[in-house]
Structure 1
Amino acid sequence: MDPVVEAFAFSLAFLGWVMVGLALPNRHWRVSTVDGNVITTSTIYENLWMSCATDSTGVHNCREFPSLLALSGYIQASRALMISSIVLGTFGLVATLVGMQCSKIGGENYVMKGRIAGIGGVFFILQGLCTMIAVSWYAFNITQEFFDPLYPGIKYEIGEGLYIGWSSATLALCGGSCLLCACRLHSPEEKKSDLQTFRSYPYKPQSRHAVQTASEISHIPSSQYGRNAYV
Structure 2
Amino acid sequence: MRKRLIQIFGFLISTLGWVFVCCTIAMDYWRITSIGGQGGSWIIKTASYWSNLWRDCYTDSTGTSNCRDYDVLWGVTPYVQGVRGLLMVGMAFGCIAAILCFIGMDCTYIGGSEKAKDKLVFTGAIFHFVGGISDIAAYCLYINRIARMTFANSVERGVLRYGIGTPIFLGLVASFFIILGALLYAVTVYLVLVPKRVVYALAPRTYMAPQTYKGSRNRTPYNGPSYYGLPRQSRQSRQSRSSGYTNSSRVSRISQITEERSARDAFV
Q: Give the structure-1-normalised TM-score.
A: 0.76
Query: Shift of the alpha carbon at 1:61?
Result: 2.0
Q: Is the 8 A contact 2:36 2:44 kept in 1?
A: no
Q: Structure 1: state its 5+ residue gaps.
A: 196-231
SS at match of 1:149: coil
Q: Structure 2: state its 5+ residue gaps.
A: 199-268
SS at match of 1:83: helix
Distance in 2 (CA, whole Å) between partners of 1:155 and 1:127 is: 31
Higher RCO (CA < 8 A, seq sep 6+): 1
1:111 lines up with 2:118 in the alignment:
no
Write out per-residue CA displacement over residues 84-107 of structure 1, whole angstroms, 9 at most, x where no aligned residue.
Answer: 111111111101100001112224
SS at match of 1:2: helix
Task: After TM superposition, list the pairs within 5 Å mapping 1:49-60 onto structure 2.
Answer: 49-60=54-65
Distance in 2 (CA, whole Å) between partners of 1:160 and 1:36 is: 21
Distance in 1 (CA, whole Å) between partners of 2:94 and 2:109 is: 21
1:124 lines up with 2:128 in the alignment:
yes
Give the structure with higher Rg (CA).
2
Q: What is the number of residues matched between the two proteins? A: 188
Query: Shift of the alpha carbon at 1:36?
Result: 5.4
Write out per-residue CA displacement over residues 40-74 of structure 1, whole angstroms, 9 at most, x where no aligned residue.
Answer: 62111111111112112111122211232233322
Given candidates 144, 150, 155, the residue that maps to 1:151 is 155
Distance in 1 (CA, whole Å) between partners of 2:111 and 2:136 is: 32
1:84 lines up with 2:85 in the alignment:
no
Amino acid at match of 2:180: C
Q: Give the structure-2-normalised TM-score.
A: 0.66
Task: After TM superposition, list the pairs within 5 Å mapping 1:201-212 onto structure 2.
Answer: none
Write out per-residue CA displacement over residues 148-200 of structure 1, whole angstroms, 9 at most, x where no aligned residue.
Answer: 122121110000010111011100011111211221456xxxx8xxx9xxxxx
Aligned-pair identity in percent equals: 27
